[in-house]
C-alpha cells in the first residue's frame, strides 16, 4: 500500500518539477535560436517560433507540453532539429545506463569490500591502506583521473582504447574513471556503518551467544552496516544512469551526460525539460527501491 | 553458517584468510557480471571504414537547407549535390548536377543544362523540377533555414519569401525542359556559381520530405543526390557515409566507407588521432590551444589561409563609441601582432582590413595600423585627453566551447592592457554564456563585443554586405547610406575592375573612416593528417575538402579508383571549360 501511494505521489511531483524546469529554462536570458548569424529574415524567426509554439503564452505552451508528455512524447529538440528528444533518449540512455551500471558495479565491488575490510581490520595496515585509497579517490575528480588513466593505459602502454564506445575493451577506462570516485565514497560509508554496528548491543549479544566471528560480521553486522550504502545508492544510481558529462565527453561516449549540460547551454528547452523529468522520475523510483530494500535488510523498518 | 561452539582466538586468524577469499570472490563476481553484460550488449558487427574523420561536434541536422555550422556542411555536401560543386584543389566552382551552363551577356540569366545521367541513389532521374522544388523549399520561410537569403539574388525570390508575392512564376527560376533550368538574377553577381555549390541550394528528395516532414532524414532508404549515402547516423557516435554507386561521378569516389566522428573535446580528438583511430582531424576548434606552438611545427599538421576574420564590434549607438574618432583611436591602439604572437600562436595573420586577403575577385585596401601616438591624439580630439573622463565600458565576449575556448578571454585581457597603456582608459571584461552573448549582441546591449565572421563563399560581398543598414548581422547600430549605396552599386557591375574599386571605397569607410568594427586577425585553417597515409586533400581558402576525393593510400578501393581518375587535373579542365572568367 505504502509503495503504491508513493508511486501515485510521483505524478504531482513530476508535474511540479516539469513546470519549474519548463519556466526556469525559458526565463533564462538568450534563446535557442540566438546565434552568431541572424536568420535570413525576420519572417524565418517568426516561422520558427510558430513551429515550436514559442510565440504562445507560457501556460499554453506548458499545457501543450503536458499533453504531448502524456502520450510519451518529449517533443522535438530545438538544437538537433532532425531529432526528437525521444530519439536522443532512445539512443543515448541505453549507453549511459550500461556505463552507469558498470560504474555502479565497480563502485560497489571495490568500495564495499574495502570498507568492510578497513572496519574489520581497524587500526592495522589494511585499514590504513584502504582508508588512504578511499580518501584519495574521493579527493580526485573524474576530469583528473580520466586523463591520467588515458595517458598511462592508452597512450603510454597502448593497452586500452583511448576513447569511443565500440567494444568491451572500450568500457574499461571510462568505467574505472567513473567508478573510482564512488568506490571511495562507498568504502567510507561502509567502514563507518560497519564500525557503528560492530559496537551495537545485538552484536555483543550475538558474540555472547557464541556465534563465529564470520557469522557475526557477515550475517548480522553486514546487513545493518550496509544500510548507509544502500540509501546512498539510490541517488547514486540515478546520477550514474543518466550519464556523466565529464567522462562521456572525455571518452567521447554517446551517452546522455553531455546533452544535459549542453542542452541548457544551448537553451534547448524541450531537451532540458525532458531530461529533467526523466532524471526526476528515475530518482523517485530508485529511492522507492532503496526504501523497499530497507525492509528486507533491517527488520525494524516497516512501512504502513 | 551457524556454529555451535565458540571459536577460539587462533581459529579467528585462520578465518581471516577465508574472509579475504569471500571478499575476493564478491569482487570477482562483480567483474564477471560486468563482462557478461558488456559482451551481450555492445558488440556490433560492422565493416571498418576506409577513412575516419573527426569533424567537430554532433551535427545539428543533416538537412542541407536548415544547417548553419561548418561541420554539418561538410557532411551534407557529401550527401547532396548542387548544380555546381567546389574543386577540391582551389575551391573554384565546377560542374556537378549541371553539366554546363550559358550566361547571358548582361550576366543576369543563367541557363543550366543538367546531366541526363544524374540519378537519385534510389534510381529515379534528377530533373530540373527537383532543383526548382528544392530551391523553393530553401526559400520558404516555413523551412526556417537561416540561409534562405542566399537565393535572394534571384529575381523575385525575396518578395516570394516575404509573402509579398505568392506567385511562383514571378520568381526567376523556370524549367525550360526536363533537363534545362533558367535562372534570372536581380544583379549580375560574379559568385552565383559559387552559391550553387552551397548546401542551401543542394537538391533534396521531394517525395521523402513531403512524406516524412521534419523526420525525413530518418527514412530508409534515404534518396541522396551526392557521392555518398547515409549508412548510419548514431547520435554522438558516428555518421557513416557509404559510397553511392548511382552517383553520376561515382567512378571518382575514392573511398567506399567514410566514418565521421563527432568529437567535442580537442584533447580527445588529438588522442584518437595519435593512437591511429582517426585519420584526419579538421576543425579549427579541435586543436588544443595549449599545444598549438608544438603542433604547428609537425609535418602532419597543416595550416593555410582561411576566409575568416576575428574582429571586435563597437556599439555605435552608445557614447562614447558613437564618436568615430574614439573608435578610430581604439583601432589605432590595438596591437594585432602582439595578440597573435602572445595568444593565438598559430598561423593567423594580423588584419588591418576586414576582407581577408585571399578572397577571389578582390584586393582589400590597407586600413589603420598600430599607432598609439595617433590614437592618443584622436582621443584627445574627442575630449578625452589621456583617457581623462572616459566613461566606464565593457568588452563582452562569450564562453564558447572548443579548443579556442579560452582565447576570447585572453585576447580581452591583452586588449585591456593595450588600451590602458596607449589610451589611459580602463575596460571591464565581461564574459557571458554563448546564447546570452549573441542575444545581447543582436539587441545592441554591449559597448565592445568580440566577434568573428567566416565567409560563406569566395567573394568580398560575403564580408562587406554584413554592415549594410539592412543586414541582420550588422549588430553595431552603424548605418551609413554612402556605404549601402556603394555595396549595392558594386553588385550591379559587370566590369570586374570597377567592382573591385567600388568595394575598396566601401571597405575604406568601414575600416578607416568610420570604424564600427576593428579587424584583429584573419583566421588560419588547420587540419592534421599524415600526407603519406591520406590522399585527396588540398588546402584552399574555403577549407573545402570534398569527401569524395579522400582516400587512404594503398587501400584497394582507391587503387581501383585511381586508374580512372588522374587526380584533380580532369576536374580543373572541366572547371576551365565551364566557368565564365570574369574580367
Contact A92, A254 (CB under 8 A): yes
Contact B477, B171 (CB under 8 A): no
* Number of neighbours of residue B229 by Cβ within 10 angstroms: 21
pLDDT digits (tens, 9 = 90+) for B250-287: 999 999 999 999 998 889 999 999 999 999 999 877 88
Residue B82: is its pLDDT beyond 90?
yes
- How far apart, in whole angstroms, are the C-alpha atoms of residue A103 and residue A119? 23
Residue B117: is its pLDDT beyond 80?
yes
pLDDT, position B128: 97
Residue A92 forms contact with B (CB below 8 Å): yes
How sure is the predictor about B236, in pLDDT bands with cuts at 50, 70 and 90? very high
Handedness of CA B99, B499, B357, B56 (dihedral sign): negative
Q: Do A113 and B4 touch (CB under 8 A)?
A: no
* % residues pLDDT > 90 (chain B): 74
Give the closest-approach CA distance of A162 to chain B in angstroms. 6
Q: Which of B336, B394, B340 is nearest to B511 (CA)?
A: B336
Contact B462, B372 (CB under 8 A): no
- How far apart, in whole angstroms, are the C-alpha atoms of residue A84 and residue A89? 9
Look at strands B98-103 and B93-95 and give their pairing.
unpaired
- How far apart, in whole angstroms, are the C-alpha atoms of residue A77 and residue A83? 6
Q: Which residue has the cell 555549390?
A: B197
Q: Which residue has the cell 543542394?
A: B202
Q: Is the ipTM of this complex over 0.85?
A: yes
Q: Which of B70, B102, B78 is nearest to B249 (CA)?
A: B78
Residue B569: is its pLDDT beyond 60?
no
Q: Which of A99, A260, A286 is nearest to A178 (CA)?
A: A99
pLDDT, position B26: 58
A chain contacts of residue B436, beta-carbon cutoff 8 Å: 29-30, 34
> Lowest-confidence range among A194-198, B80-84, B266-270, B342-346?
B342-346
Cell matching residue B155: 529575381
DSSP structural state of residue B149: G
Look at strands B280-281 and B51-56 and give their pairing.
parallel
Alpha helical stretches, state H, B8-89: 9-42, 70-79
B chain contacts of residue A109, beta-carbon cutoff 8 Å: 26-27, 30-31
Give the closest-approach CA distance of A9 to chain B in angstroms. 33
> Can you tell me the mean pLDDT for B559-583?
41
Which position has the higher pLDDT, B186 or A219?
B186
* % residues pLDDT > 90 (chain A): 67
- How far apart, in whole angstroms, are the C-alpha atoms of residue B556 and residue B73? 28
* Number of neighbours of residue B36 by Cβ within 10 angstroms: 10
Looking at chain A, which residue has its C-alpha nearest residue B20? A117
Cell matching residue B268: 580527445
DSSP structural state of residue B59: P
pLDDT, position B32: 57
> Can you tell me the mean pLDDT for B197-221?
95
Residue B43: is its pLDDT beyond 70?
no
Look at strands B51-56 and B534-535 and give their pairing.
unpaired
SS3 labels along B177-191: ECCEEEEEECCCCCC
B chain contacts of residue A177, beta-carbon cutoff 8 Å: none
> Lowest-confidence range among A128-137, B6-15, B570-579?
B570-579
Q: Which residue has the cell 554564456?
A: B433
Which position has the higher pLDDT, A291 or B38?
A291
Q: Do B33 and A105 touch (CB under 8 A)?
A: yes
pLDDT digits (tens, 9 = 90+) for B179-189: 999 999 999 99
pLDDT, position B557: 57
Q: Which of B573, B509, B69 is nearest to B327 (CA)?
A: B509
- Classify burial at A192, counting beta carbons within 10 Å of its beta carbon; exposed 0-12, middle 13-18, buried 19 or more: middle
Give the closest-approach CA distance of B535 to chain A in angstroms. 25
Question: CA triplet B191, B196, B197: central angle to 5 degrees?
Answer: 100
Among B31, B37, B148, whose Cβ lies nearest the Cβ of A44?
B148
pLDDT digits (tens, 9 = 90+) for B325-334: 999 999 999 9
Give the closest-approach CA distance of A81 to chain B in angstroms. 6
pLDDT digits (tens, 9 = 90+) for A57-112: 999 999 999 999 999 999 999 999 999 999 999 999 999 999 999 999 999 999 99
Residue A118 forms contact with B (CB below 8 Å): no
Among A35, A98, A249, whose Cβ lies nearest the Cβ of B41?
A98
Cell matching residue B424: 589611459
pLDDT digits (tens, 9 = 90+) for A154-176: 999 999 999 999 889 999 999 99
> Lowest-confidence range among B10-24, B374-388, B457-471?
B10-24
Q: Do B236 and A38 touch (CB under 8 A)?
A: no
Which position has the higher pLDDT, B489 or B560?
B489
CB pairs < 8 Å spanning A and B = 218
- How far apart, in whole angstroms, are the C-alpha atoms of residue A147 and residue A161? 13
Contact A74, A85 (CB under 8 A): yes
How sure is the predictor about B534, in pLDDT bands with cuts at 50, 70 and 90? very high
- How far apart, in whole angstroms, are the C-alpha atoms of residue B122 and residue B124? 6
How do the residues of chain B divide into helix, strand and coil, expressed in percent and rounded to 5? 40, 20, 45
Look at strands B238-243 and B257-262 and give their pairing.
antiparallel
pTM here? 0.89
Looking at chain B, which residue has its C-alpha nearest residue A146? B268
Q: Do B214 and A40 touch (CB under 8 A)?
A: no
Q: Do B265 and A252 touch (CB under 8 A)?
A: yes
Looking at chain B, which residue has its C-alpha nearest residue A208? B6
- How far apart, in whole angstroms, are the C-alpha atoms of residue B436 and residue B439? 5
Mean of pLDDT over chain B: 88
Q: Report the side by side order of strands in the sheet with B109-114.
A: B98-103, B109-114, B180-184, B173-177
Nearest-10 crossing angle of helices A227-241, A85-120:
150
Question: CA triplet A159, A160, A163: central angle to 5 degrees?
Answer: 150
User: Which value, to the nearest 10 degrees, does the dihedral of the CA atoms of residues A76, A82, A87, A91 take?
Assistant: -140
- How far apart, in whole angstroms, are the C-alpha atoms of residue A39 and residue A36? 10
Residue A252 forms contact with B (CB below 8 Å): yes
Contact residues for A89 (Cβ-Cβ < 8 A; gap 6+): A74, A256, A274, A275, A278
Contact B133, B196 (CB under 8 A): no
Amino acid at each position: 500500500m505504502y509503495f503504491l501511494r508513493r508511486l501515485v505521489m510521483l505524478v504531482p511531483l513530476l508535474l511540479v518539477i516539469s513546470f519549474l524546469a519548463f519556466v526556469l529554462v525559458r526565463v533564462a536570458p538568450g534563446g535557442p535560436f540566438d546565434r552568431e548569424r541572424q536568420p535570413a529574415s525576420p519572417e524565418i524567426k517568426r516561422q520558427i517560433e510558430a513551429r515550436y509554439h514559442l510565440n504562445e503564452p507560457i501556460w499554453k505552451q506548458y499545457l501543450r507540453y503536458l499533453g504531448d508528455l502524456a502520450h510519451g512524447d518529449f517533443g522535438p529538440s530545438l538544437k538537433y532539429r532532425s531529432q526528437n528528444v525521444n530519439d536522443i533518449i532512445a539512443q543515448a540512455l541505453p549507453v549511459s545506463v550500461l556505463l552507469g551500471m558498470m560504474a555502479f558495479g565497480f563502485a560497489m565491488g571495490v568500495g564495499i569490500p574495502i570498507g568492510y575490510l578497513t572496519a574489520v581490520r581497524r587500526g592495522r595496515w589494511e585499514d590504513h591502506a584502504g582508508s588512504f585509497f578511499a580518501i584519495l579517490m574521493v579527493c580526485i575528480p573524474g576530469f583528473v583521473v580520466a586523463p591520467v588513466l588515458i595517458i598511462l593505459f592508452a597512450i603510454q602502454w597502448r593497452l586500452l582504447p583511448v576513447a569511443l564506445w565500440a567494444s568491451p575493451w572500450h568500457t574499461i577506462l571510462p568505467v574505472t574513471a567513473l567508478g573510482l570516485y564512488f568506490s571511495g565514497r562507498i568504502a567510507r560509508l561502509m567502514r563507518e556503518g560497519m564500525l557503528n554496528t560492530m559496537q551495537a548491543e545485538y552484536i555483543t549479544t550475538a558474540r555472547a551467544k557464541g556465534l563465529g566471528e564470520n557469522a557475526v560480521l557477515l550475517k548480522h553486522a553486514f546487513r545493518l552496516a550496509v544500510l548507509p550504502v544502500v540509501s546512498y545508492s539510490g541517488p547514486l544510481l540515478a546520477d550514474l544512469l543518466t550519464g556523466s558529462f565529464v567522462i562521456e565527453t572525455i571518452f567521447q561516449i554517446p551517452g546522455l551526460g553531455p546533452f544535459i549540460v549542453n542542452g541548457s547551454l544551448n537553451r534547448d528547452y524541450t531537451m532540458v525539460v525532458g531530461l529533467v523529468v526523466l532524471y526526476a522520475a528515475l530518482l523517485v523510483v530508485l529511492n522507492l527501491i532503496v526504501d523497499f530494500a530497507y525492509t528486507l535488510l533491517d527488520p525494524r523498518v516497516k512501512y504502513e | 553458517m551457524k556454529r555451535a561452539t565458540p571459536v577460539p582466538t587462533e581459529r579467528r586468524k585462520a578465518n581471516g584468510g577465508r574472509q579475504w577469499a569471500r571478499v575476493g570472490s564478491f569482487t570477482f563476481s562483480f567483474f564477471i557480471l560486468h563482462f557478461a553484460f558488456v559482451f551481450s550488449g555492445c558488440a556490433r558487427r560492422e565493416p571498418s571504414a576506409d577513412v575516419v574523420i573527426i569533424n567537430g561536434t554532433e551535427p545539428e541536422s543533416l538537412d542541407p537547407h536548415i544547417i548553419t555550422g561548418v561541420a554539418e556542411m561538410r557532411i551534407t555536401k557529401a550527401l547532396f549535390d548542387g548544380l555546381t560543386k567546389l574543386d577540391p584543389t582551389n575551391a573554384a566552382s565546377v560542374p556537378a548536377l549541371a553539366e554546363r551552363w550559358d550566361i547571358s551577356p548582361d550576366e543576369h540569366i543563367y541557363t543550366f543544362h543538367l546531366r541526363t545521367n544524374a540519378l537519385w541513389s534510389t534510381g529515379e532521374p534528377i530533373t530540373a523540377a527537383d532543383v526548382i522544388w528544392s530551391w523553393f523549399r530553401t526559400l520558404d520561410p516555413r523551412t526556417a533555414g537561416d540561409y534562405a537569403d542566399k537565393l535572394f539574388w534571384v529575381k523575385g525570390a525575396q518578395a516570394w519569401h516575404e509573402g509579398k508575392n505568392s506567385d511562383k512564376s514571378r520568381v526567376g527560376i523556370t524549367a525550360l525542359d526536363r533537363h534545362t533550368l533558367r535562372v534570372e538574377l536581380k544583379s549580375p553577381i560574379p559568385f552565383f556559381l559559387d552559391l550553387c555549390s552551397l548546401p542551401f541550394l543542394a537538391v533534396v528528395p521531394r517525395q521523402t520530405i513531403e512524406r516524412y516532414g521534419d523526420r525525413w532524414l530518418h527514412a530508409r532508404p534515404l534518396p541522396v543526390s551526392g557521392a555518398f549515402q547515409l549508412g548510419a547516423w548514431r547520435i554522438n557516435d558516428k555518421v557513416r557515409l557509404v559510397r553511392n554507386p548511382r552517383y553520376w561521378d561515382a567512378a571518382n569516389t575514392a573511398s567506399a566507407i567514410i566514418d565521421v566522428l563527432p568529437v567535442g573535446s580537442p584533447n580527445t580528438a588529438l588522442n584518437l588521432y595519435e593512437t591511429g583511430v582517426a585519420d584526419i582531424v579538421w576543425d579549427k576548434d579541435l586543436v588544443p590551444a595549449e599545444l598549438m606552438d608544438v603542433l604547428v611545427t609537425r609535418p602532419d599538421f597543416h595550416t593555410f589561409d582561411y576566409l575568416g576574420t576575428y574582429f571586435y564590434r563597437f556599439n555605435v549607438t552608445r557614447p562614447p563609441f558613437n564618436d568615430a574618432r574614439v573608435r578610430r583611436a581604439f583601432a589605432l591602439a590595438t596591437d594585432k601582432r602582439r595578440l597573435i604572437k602572445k595568444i593565438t600562436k598559430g598561423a593567423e595573420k594580423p588584419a588591418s582590413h576586414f576582407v581577408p586577403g585571399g578572397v577571389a575577385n578582390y584586393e582589400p585596401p590597407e586600413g589603420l595600423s598600430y599607432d598609439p601616438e595617433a590614437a592618443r591624439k584622436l582621443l584627445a580630439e574627442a575630449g578625452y585627453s589621456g583617457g581623462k573622463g572616459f566613461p566606464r565600458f565593457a568588452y563582452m565576449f562569450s564562453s564558447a566551447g572548443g579548443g579556442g575556448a579560452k582565447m576570447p578571454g585572453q585576447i580581452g585581457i591583452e586588449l585591456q592592457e593595450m588600451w590602458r597603456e596607449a589610451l589611459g582608459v580602463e575596460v571591464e571584461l565581461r564574459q557571458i554564456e554563448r546564447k546570452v552573448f549573441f542575444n545581447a549582441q543582436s539587441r545592441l546591449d554591449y559597448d565592445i563585443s568580440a566577434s568573428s565572421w567566416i565567409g560563406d563563399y569566395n567573394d568580398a560581398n560575403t564580408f562587406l554586405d554584413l554592415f549594410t543598414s539592412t543586414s541582420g548581422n550588422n549588430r553595431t547600430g552603424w548605418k551609413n547610406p554612402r556605404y549601402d549605396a556603394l555595396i549595392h552599386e558594386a553588385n550591379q557591375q559587370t566590369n570586374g575592375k570597377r567592382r573591385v574599386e567600388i568595394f575598396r571605397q566601401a571597405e575604406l569607410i568601414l575600416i578607416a573612416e568610420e570604424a564600427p568594427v576593428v579587424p584583429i586577425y584573419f583566421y588560419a585553417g588547420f587540419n592534421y593528417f599524415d600526407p603519406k597515409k591520406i590522399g585527396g586533400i588540398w588546402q584552399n581558402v574555403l577549407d573545402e575538402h570534398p569527401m569524395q576525393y579522400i582516400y587512404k593510400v594503398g587501400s584497394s578501393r582507391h587503387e581501383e579508383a585511381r586508374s580512372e581518375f588522374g587526380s584533380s587535373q580532369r576536374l580543373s579542365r572541366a572547371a576551365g571549360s565551364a566557368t565564365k572568367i570574369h574580367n
